[in-house]
């Protein structure tokens, strides 16, 4: 158990570390990112999450989402990533 964690949470000082990870990877069970307008919020809420390689996909996702919000459509086909597909 790392020393700092043991100091912050003494009850865990005897715990076994089961796994370690450098970052959080918010990947949906389907493995497909979720990008688009969330239904049920009057067109006021958009989401872009679930990118395994977010740092590589973020420029295209940002462009697509900005177009969707500003223009109502995107130059990138977001159909496979539509939040409705995951409800």
Does this model's pTM top 0.85?
no
Collect all residues with Cβ–Cβ distance below 8 Å to 35 and sequence separation of at least 6. 47, 48, 49, 61, 64, 65, 78, 81, 82, 83
Q: How far apart are CA 17 and CA 69, in angstroms?
A: 43
Mean pLDDT, residues 42-58 = 85
**pLDDT, the chain, mean:** 84
Asked if residue 31 has pLDDT above 50, the reply is: yes
What's the rounded Cα separation, in Å, for the pair 61 and 58?
A: 5
- Among 74, 8, 4, smallest CA distance to 36 is for 74
- The percent of residues above 70 in pLDDT, for the chain, comes to 89
Instruction: Give strand pairing partners of 35.
Output: 48
Is residue 1 very low, low, confident or very high in pLDDT (cuts 50, 70, 90)?
Answer: very low
């Amino acid at each position: 158990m790392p020393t700092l964690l043991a100091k912050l949470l003494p009850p865990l000082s005897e715990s076994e570390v089961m796994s370690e990870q450098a970052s959080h990877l918010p990947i949906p069970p389907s493995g497909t990112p979720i990008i688009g307008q969330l239904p049920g919020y009057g067109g006021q809420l958009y989401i872009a999450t679930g990118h395994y390689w977010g740092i590589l996909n973020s420029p295209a996702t940002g462009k697509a989402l900005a177009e969707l919000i500003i223009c109502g459509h995107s130059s990138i086909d977001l159909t496979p990533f539509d939040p409705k597909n995951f409800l």
